[in-house]
Amino acid sequence: MQTYILLTCEPGHEKEIITHLKSLDSVIEVNGIWGKYDIFLKVHHDAESGLDKIIETLRRVENITSTYTIPILYGQGGSIDD
Amino acid sequence: MQTYILLTCEPGHEKEIITHLKSLDSVIEVNGIWGKYDIFLKVHHDAESGLDKIIETLRRVENITSTYTIPILYGQGGSIDD
């Protein structure tokens, strides 16, 4: 399963957080973004319990101030079906 | 360049919109999602003018009710650097 997560962080800490997130096994894609949120993240996990652990981990990362989790609705014919 | 777009649509039209979006050359990834938005989209385009055209096209698709565009901040070391 894959899940999208939008993060906000303390201003100025984007690059160090992105570098850290790239080192995590569960992270497929991470990018700094414009607008209401600061960082886009796509993660891979085996089941919902796996997602719990990822979010718990993210919320402990220094200077990450919020996480907005967007689960994928499988079965709607999207372009990821793993 | 790549850009993330979150879409909302009229309830019940998710699958047909996703099928349509998958047929567009600019679309890299599309999935139904849970929460405030209904569809996640990642598009590829050559420059800002290319993005204009994509958003104009999306906003004409029947039953898409809103588009929330999230440009990528290149230069922050994210995992897409094309």
Q: What is the mean pLDDT of residues B3-15?
A: 97
Q: What is the mean pLDDT of residues A11-31?
A: 96
Q: What is the mean pLDDT of residues A10-25?
A: 96
Instruction: Work out how many domains chain A is built from and give that number.
Output: 1
Q: Higher confidence at residue B82 or residue B64?
A: B64
Q: Does any domain span residue B81?
A: no
Count of pairs with CB atoms under 8 A, one residue in A, one in B: 90
DSSP A72: B
Q: Does any domain span residue B78?
A: no
Q: Does any domain span residue B66?
A: yes
Q: Which residues, including other chains, have CB under 8 Å from residue B57's CB and lie 6 or more apart?
A: B24
Residue whose structure tokens are 């990528």: B72
Contact yes or no for B72 and A40 at CB 8 A: yes
Classify strands B2-9 and A64-71 as parallel, antiparallel or unpaired: unpaired
Q: What is the mean pLDDT of residues A61-78?
A: 95
> What is the CATH classification number for the domain harbouring B50?
3.30.70.920
> Which member of A15, A28, A80 has the closest CB to residue B76?
A15
Q: How many CA atoms lie within 13 A of A11 on its CB side?
A: 3
Alpha carbon A42 to its chain centroid, in Å, reads 5
Residues of the domain holding B47: 2-71
Please tell me if residue A19 touches chain B, with a CB cutoff of 8 Å. Answer: yes
pLDDT of residue A79: 86
